[in-house]
Structure 1
């Protein structure tokens, strides 16, 4: 184990994943503090709608927000004076933040859970961020080609996060954002007579969610509201199967590891999941709507097969794909 260090984590508040990283690093013997640099109370969230989201939709610059978040991050670094700084995403900081890190020259690592093309990172921020841990193998190759140190560190499941127990439900569920391809697949399953349900603000018919997502209509599919992580885990575990539908990512989402980690039957749309799981043994892979329908029906009718997937996927996750495992990879980056 590496020597004990005072670690400051600068992380988005996004779904509480900062807690998982904090727990894992503390479990490695470090003294860990976390600052959720974008966290807001109810009044702050309402203000963000008016001050940031609406202007962004109208094409306005978000320089004010970047300056505010950069200032908050700089203050955290100078106040805590850590031995090691772990920045999660961090693309919303202004250049002054990265200049501060260059002046301090402390050990640090940047962990990215999205492709670079979908972030606000610049050549300057990537050069000054220190080693980069990315969930995207393609981004790792590109960063290395630019002479930067980068390693592929996949996302993970946190077995210490509680799971809300739900009774078994005969339905195929999807938990996540609503995109056209995802909606088309769910509609295809529903049209074939399979019970489906989507969870998330983009799917929900609740008037508050419709206002939050700037829309009038609904997709017309059975849907629920946003779920906290314990509820999302419970819903996936209780369902006949859970869908993992990617877009144009080359990395694998957090859901890939969470679904297996809680013992769900995961139907995933990418054969290259074989990098992390054994298709047909630990997860079920589909390449189109027809295969997804066949696998969903099999999960309902062939319970021994479904139960075997649940057990094998969970065992693989707990052995290889936890935040505790990923914490070791981050340590290796900041200590080398």
Structure 2
């Protein structure tokens, strides 16, 4: 059995989802969250030394790259895998990549973010690893530069838990970061009388969330705190509809597949989603603020009319867009 070590940010536990998918196709998997910090003292130090300066500079750094890389390299030496799959990994140093590729070990990287929005260094990584990206544009640019890159979209964890509760009932939900275009959309819905609620630390008016996101003002729309991914899926499933609004992205977010996989009525701002889902049958596409408000009102008035959208979206996701499907594709990076 091939031993695979998955080294990833701990963001929403996606490394566990991806790891489960590789286990399903026959790998012995270990997972390691390279940005996980258990020590309260170290968390406080990182916030003061790295996160606050990064907030001011706008470069997104949160930890010492040297420390993170050294720990991740030690995990490779401990596990002794046959394959190392790194998710994102833009903060990892060359010393890490040298360790990863030692002893003719196969190394691959999967980017679930655009490279331009990270500190990913191609010259540092490509001597040691093959690359996959969820971004069509990044993949094409890499291939044009002579780099043997692969396009692998995000996916859905069909084996993962879905939470319980009724937090999403009766509202159009949004779960995610409050990017400017998302704020505009939610404020427009709220102003038009559509029942809407946003979940996440960047929206939450809780004093702790406002402090840790360096905010003085409130969000201006009905809001709630961060929720685990399992609960997020339950909220999307139980909502009248759920919003999927992209920012500076050409790849499709995890939310695209999670909303569809959980059986939500997904309102999405990308007409090119037709690569994965049928607009009007499996997802609902909007191209303007007025169109978003109109669709949301129609769903709110007659939610039963959209049950087929929910069913078809989930069926399509389970048939074509799970992490198991993505894992089988990614095997091509080291097969």
| TM-score with structure 2 setting the length | 0.95
Aligned Cα root-mean-square deviation (Å): 1.7
- Aligned partners of 1:211 and 1:154: how far apart in 2? 34
* 2:223 paired residue number: 223
* 1:313 paired residue number: 313
- Aligned partners of 2:289 and 2:228: how far apart in 1? 28
- Aligned partners of 1:15 and 1:241: how far apart in 2? 22
Q: Deviations over 1:132-176 (max 9, x none)?
A: 111000000011111111111010111221111233621111000
Q: Deviations over 1:202-250 (max 9, x none)?
A: 0000000001101111122100000101110111111100000001200
Q: After TM superposition, list the pairs within 5 Å mapping 1:1-336 onto structure 2.
A: 4-41=1-38, 43=40, 44-59=42-57, 65-167=64-166, 169-335=169-335
Deviation at 1:118, TM superposition (A): 1.0
Q: Please identify, of 101-110 and 74-83, the stretch whose mean Cα deviation from structure 2 is larger.
A: 101-110
- Tell me if the contact between 1:110 and 1:129 (Cα under 8 Å) persists in the aligned partners: no
Deviation at 1:54, TM superposition (A): 1.6
Deviation at 1:42, TM superposition (A): 5.8
Is the alpha carbon distance of 1:15 and 1:60 closer, same or farther for their aligned partners in structure 2, counting shifts above 3 Å?
A: closer
Q: Deviations over 1:78-135 (max 9, x none)?
A: 2222111101111111121123345443112101100010111113233134221110
| 3-state secondary structure, aligned to 1:287 | coil
- Provide the aligned length of Structure 1 versus Structure 2: 332
- Aligned partners of 2:283 and 2:118: how far apart in 1? 30
Deviation at 1:46, TM superposition (A): 2.6
The answer for unaligned runs of 5 or more in structure 2 is none
- Aligned partners of 2:74 and 2:97: how far apart in 1? 13
- Aligned partners of 2:259 and 2:79: how far apart in 1? 36
Q: Deviations over 1:286-334 (max 9, x none)?
A: 0011111111111122334310110000000001111111110111221
- Tell me if the contact between 1:102 and 1:128 (Cα under 8 Å) persists in the aligned partners: no
| TM-score with structure 1 setting the length | 0.94
- Tell me if the contact between 1:170 and 1:239 (Cα under 8 Å) persists in the aligned partners: yes
Q: Deviations over 1:50-101 (max 9, x none)?
A: 1211232354996971111111121112222211110111111112112334
Q: Please identify, of 267-276 and 30-39, the stretch whose mean Cα deviation from structure 2 is larger.
A: 30-39
The answer for unaligned runs of 5 or more in structure 1 is none
| 3-state secondary structure, aligned to 1:246 | coil
